[in-house]
């Protein structure tokens, strides 16, 4: 889970929360076998955190 110290800009905080929710949702889908890892990438919304999100998903994918 992400934790905030209250110093992050509102927009950045909103993007981080959205990113966390997206990662968790995609991860839950992958656990159910509904998607392949490539399908997960196609579901990711374009944005400045695309690379970070992709690396996080790949890390989860290889960890399990």
Question: Where along the chain do its domains lie?
Answer: 12-63
Q: Is 36 helix (H, G, I), strand (E, B) or coil?
A: coil
Residues 44-55, mean pLDDT to the nearest whole number: 54
User: The whole model's pTM is what?
Assistant: 0.32
pLDDT at position 1: 44
Q: Which H or E run includes 2?
A: none
Q: Is 14 helix (H, G, I), strand (E, B) or coil?
A: helix
Distance CA 63, CA 50 (A): 20
- Please tell me the predicted confidence (pLDDT) of residue 17: 72
């Amino acid at each position: 889970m992400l934790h905030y110290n209250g110093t992050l800009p509102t927009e950045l905080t909103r993007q981080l929360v959205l990113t966390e929710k997206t990662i968790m949702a995609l991860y839950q889908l992958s656990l159910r076998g509904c998607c392949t890892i490539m399908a997960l990438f196609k579901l990711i919304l374009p944005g400045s955190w695309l690379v970070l999100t992709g690396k996080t998903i790949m890390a989860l994918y290889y960890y399990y």
